[in-house]
Amino acid sequence: MDIIYLFKVLVRRRWTILFCLVLGLLGGIIFRIIIPRDYISTAQYSTGFSQTQKVSLQLTEIFDVNQIDFRINNVIETFKSPIVLAMVSYDLMLHDLDSQHPFRNLGNKYKDDTAFKNADLPKARLILRDRLSNLKLLSTYDPQDKMVWNLLNLYEYDEENILKKLTVERVPKTDYINVSFSSENPELSAYVANKIGVKFKEFFNSLTSTNTKESLYKLDSLRESKRREVDTLRNRLQRFRDKIGTPNPGDAATAAMSAVQELTSSLTAQQANQNDYRQRLNSINDQLRDLNANPAAITGGNFSNHGDEILVLRRTNEELASKLALKGGVDQNLQKQIDDNINKINQLSRGGNLLPSNPAMKAADRKQELIKEKLDLQSAIASTADNIEMYKSRLEQFRKIAFSGGGQEVVANAYQNDLTIAEKDLEKYNSSIFASQDIDVSPDFNFKQILLGQPPIKPEPARGLLILSIAGLSMFFLSVLFIIILEILDSTLRTPTIFKNETRLPVLSSVGHIELDKKSLQEYFDFTPRSDREDNNMFLIENLRKLRYEIERSGKRVILFTSARPQEGKTTILESLAHTFSMSKKKVLLIDANFSNNTLTRDFSAKPTLITFSMKGPEGVEKIWNITTVTKIAHIDMIGCAEGNYTPSEILPKNNVLDHLDKLKQHYDYILIEGAALNTHADSKELADFVEGLVIVFSAKNSLRESDRESIEFLKNQKGKFIGAVLNNVDEQNLDL
């Protein structure tokens, strides 16, 4: 929508907007008068979170600002917790019930309330004191508690009302908290601001006291457990030292070195035996595979006896292994000889049978002997593996003793280190318990009130100017917004610009609303040549003159006036145009062809001769003067019609007036015909064939429909006959938009 149009609409509605502004200001003044004046009292508390006095296993603590922020936020939420607010609520209720000067006095209206009449005040006092002492909330399921709860709501001491007027906030960049409360009573405000800190400490202590005592008990239990561990380690060290006495580290190292050599020799021998057993096991596995594949290869052939040679090689390996052990297990030549002998033994074992040649031995017996020997070798391999691990373990122990100056001292030093570590842990526990004896173990020990809330002398400023400004501006912007929304939602063709954008039709003229109920159309045109051209009537006349000019400029003399819908004002436009033509001394013939509504015929009291007249013979043109009606408007004649449900093609006779409009043009400057609405009747479409030009009338009070668009499309397809549109019933303030 055009911004300029919206601005002009707002200017036009300025009095409405001004009225809303004044109404808002009046509402702000009334609100300022009736709003209760509140008194605000503020108390300040120090959380002490920047101090580190509390039970801890660490005697030093890092000052963590982020952690302090979290803890202060937790304190603020605890201030607003239901239990703290409830305790303050119960305390206020007890104060008003017991004191001769209560903070709030109920009026007669509230005393007549059932909550007050049904209240047992002595019982309520007992219940409230019990809840305060035990830090418990009222239960709305209990009838007695429900009675007290209703009484609290009556006095507006309930948690919700207290929380609405309570402000708890941190002083920036400190560990201080400001607690403010506003009410109609300055003493009530100060009482709540101070009392809520007391209730907070009571509630916080109730939560933390049990936990902190349990922490001390746990700390003492850990200390006793560590003390028993220290005693156990000390006794173990003492027993070990009593057992070993005071040995000479040098002798122990010498003995340990000798033991290392012996263990190394034994380890090497065991490794050599293990290698021998594995080679023999591999040989037996090969024989078993051959036997399973071809039993006759072993049982039926002649076997050479290499047993003596194999026995000699094994004894040689045993001697070489002993020599290798004496050299510390490191001698490449001896190790190579041992490996060569083992390979040779394997070759001899595969090439012949260790048992005497016996061709008659059965395959089953031979297989049984090989399996038995295999099991024996597997057992021997497992035994040597265990011996090797044992020798390695003992060898490692004696090496430590040999290179550390005494094995017993190594063990004793390990025992001493365990004892030292345990004693240090015990010292930490003792220090923590000692440090905690001089402080309160509750984490809120340092929480204290540093500023008492005082009853304020004056109420808070009412901010009258701010309230008036907000009220006035709110009504101003709301009224403007409401007007703009109405204009946006308005889909009528209210201005010439909107009409052009919606229809894409040329506008011949825009005519304002003509109030025919106040004065006749003739009276609009009864003016003197010296009449003021700025007069409202003259403004209407000027727009009609524009329409006359556009028609004259079109060059068309036989023109059909129609509309998309009925009651769009085409009859009024046609009559007004006839007046303007009369003013310019033009001779005009009006023909009423609107059979559905012959208003034009009735207005001029014309004879309904259109449907009866037929021009026959040479004297036909002269007969036309018998069917015309001379109107009250100078130079204007009229041919009327009878109203009925028919179209021109159905009712008009042959050689009717419309067939001879060319002859009538010789006697009239313009012939103006009125047709029925295009949307609902076919009359105007039939009449379009008889005329030179078409003019359609739209009402600015209507919106554009799909049927209207179809009628507009019909006019655009009339091959140059369509002249333009007239926008009727335009608001005078929208005529120039």
With a pLDDT cut of 90, the percent of the chain lying above it is 10
Band (pLDDT 50/70/90 cuts) for residue 54 is very low
Task: Flag whether pLDDT at 562 surpasses 90.
Answer: yes
Task: Flag whether pLDDT at 559 surpasses 90.
Answer: yes
Among 373, 405, 437, identify where a domain stops.
Answer: 405
Task: Flag whether pLDDT at 55 surpasses 50.
Answer: no
Q: Are 256 and 272 part of one and the same domain?
A: yes
Task: Flag whether pLDDT at 352 surpasses 80.
Answer: no
Band (pLDDT 50/70/90 cuts) for residue 381 is confident
Q: Please tell me the predicted confidence (pLDDT) of residue 439.
A: 45
Give the count of alpha carbons within 13 A of 313, CB side only.
19
Q: Please tell me the predicted confidence (pLDDT) of residue 674.
A: 93
DSSP codes, 254-305: HHHHHHHHHHHHHHHHHHHHHHHHHHHHHHHHHHHHHHHH-THHHHSS---B
Q: Are 518 and 656 part of one and the same domain?
A: yes
State the burial class of residue 252 (Cβ atoms within 10 Å of its Cβ: 0-12, 13-18, 19+). Answer: buried
Indicate the range of 268-277, 299-308, 668-677 predicted with least confidence: 299-308
Whether 470 maps to a domain, the answer reads yes
Among 384, 405, 426, identify where a domain stops.
Answer: 405
Q: Count of CB atoms within 10 A of residue 126's CB?
A: 12
> How big is the CA angle at 195 (ends 88 and 166), to the nearest 5 degrees?
65
| Angle between helices 249-293 and 307-326 in degrees, nearest 10 | 160
Whether 28 maps to a domain, the answer reads yes
Task: Return the biggest CA–CA distance within the chain.
Answer: 169
Whether 429 maps to a domain, the answer reads no
Q: Please tell me the predicted confidence (pLDDT) of residue 438.
A: 46
Q: Are 130 and 14 part of one and the same domain?
A: no
Task: Flag whether pLDDT at 685 surpasses 80.
Answer: yes
State the burial class of residue 176 (Cβ atoms within 10 Å of its Cβ: 0-12, 13-18, 19+). Answer: middle
| Cα(532)–Cα(552) distance, integer angstroms | 26
8-state DSSP, 670: E
Q: Are 715 and 727 part of one and the same domain?
A: yes
Q: Are 518 and 662 part of one and the same domain?
A: yes
Task: Flag whether pLDDT at 572 surpasses 50.
Answer: yes
Whether 233 maps to a domain, the answer reads no
Whether 394 maps to a domain, the answer reads yes
Which SS3 state, helix, strand or coil, does residue 612 take?
coil
Is the alpha carbon torsion for 275, 279, 280, 281 positive or negative?
A: positive
CB 675 within 8 A of CB 621: no
Which residues constitute the domain of residue 22? 1-35+462-490
The pLDDT of 75-97, averaged and rounded, is 88
Q: Which two tokens stand for residue 681?
A: 């009747």
| Cα(545)–Cα(397) distance, integer angstroms | 130
Q: Please tell me the predicted confidence (pLDDT) of residue 217.
A: 61
Task: Flag whether pLDDT at 451 surpasses 50.
Answer: yes
Task: Flag whether pLDDT at 167 surpasses 50.
Answer: yes
Q: Are 196 and 257 part of one and the same domain?
A: no
| Cα(672)–Cα(576) distance, integer angstroms | 12
Q: Which two tokens stand for residue 22?
A: 């004044």
What is the rounded (10 degree) CA torsion for 150, 156, 158, 162?
Answer: 180
Long-range Cβ contact pairs of 523-527 (< 8 A, separation 24 or more): 524/576, 524/579, 525/579, 525/583
Q: Please tell me the predicted confidence (pLDDT) of residue 589.
A: 92
Q: Are 482 and 499 part of one and the same domain?
A: no
Q: Count of CB atoms within 10 A of residue 585's CB?
A: 9
Indicate the range of 111-115, 163-167, 555-559, 663-667 predicted with least confidence: 111-115
* Domain of residue 549, CATH code: 3.40.50.300
Band (pLDDT 50/70/90 cuts) for residue 357 is very low
What residues contact 588, with CB distance under 8 A and at least 6 apart? 578, 581, 582, 635, 636, 637, 668, 669, 670, 671, 672
Q: Are 276 and 383 part of one and the same domain?
A: yes
| Cα(370)–Cα(378) distance, integer angstroms | 12
The better pLDDT of the pair 598, 719 is held by 598
Read off the pLDDT of residues 460-500 as tens digits, 9 standing for 90 and up: 666 667 778 888 888 889 988 998 888 888 788 878 888 88
End-to-end CA distance of the chain: 12
Indicate the range of 183-192, 280-289, 350-359 predicted with least confidence: 350-359
DSSP codes, 59-110: S-----HHHHHHHHHHHHHHHTSHHHHHHHHHHHHHHHHH-SS-S----HHH
Q: Are 503 and 473 part of one and the same domain?
A: no
Task: Flag whether pLDDT at 430 surpasses 80.
Answer: no
Average pLDDT across the chain, whole number: 78
Whether 447 maps to a domain, the answer reads no
Whether 550 maps to a domain, the answer reads yes
Task: Flag whether pLDDT at 677 surpasses 80.
Answer: yes
The better pLDDT of the pair 423, 537 is held by 423
Is the alpha carbon torsion for 256, 261, 262, 264 positive or negative?
A: positive
8-state DSSP, 248: -
- H/E stretch holding 449: strand 448-451
Task: Flag whether pLDDT at 139 surpasses 90.
Answer: no
Band (pLDDT 50/70/90 cuts) for residue 531 is low
Q: Are 148 and 80 part of one and the same domain?
A: yes
Q: Are 11 and 118 part of one and the same domain?
A: no
The pLDDT of 205-229, averaged and rounded, is 67
Q: Count of CB atoms within 10 A of residue 95's CB?
A: 17
Nearest to 31 by CA among 464, 460, 476: 464
Q: Please tell me the predicted confidence (pLDDT) of residue 355.
A: 44
CB 665 within 8 A of CB 558: yes
Whether 725 maps to a domain, the answer reads yes
The better pLDDT of the pair 569, 57 is held by 569
Q: Give the chain's domain count.
A: 4
Q: Are 287 and 180 part of one and the same domain?
A: no
The pLDDT of 422-441, averaged and rounded, is 62
Burial per residue of 286-322, b for 16 or more beta-carbon CB atoms within 10 angstroms, e otherwise = ebeeebeeeeeebbeeebeebeeebeebeeebeebbe
- Residue found by looking up tokens 């009838």 in the block: 143
Q: Please tell me the predicted confidence (pLDDT) of residue 341.
A: 80
Read off the pLDDT of residues 106-120 as tens digits, 9 standing for 90 and up: 776 667 777 777 778
Q: Which two tokens stand for residue 652?
A: 């008009």
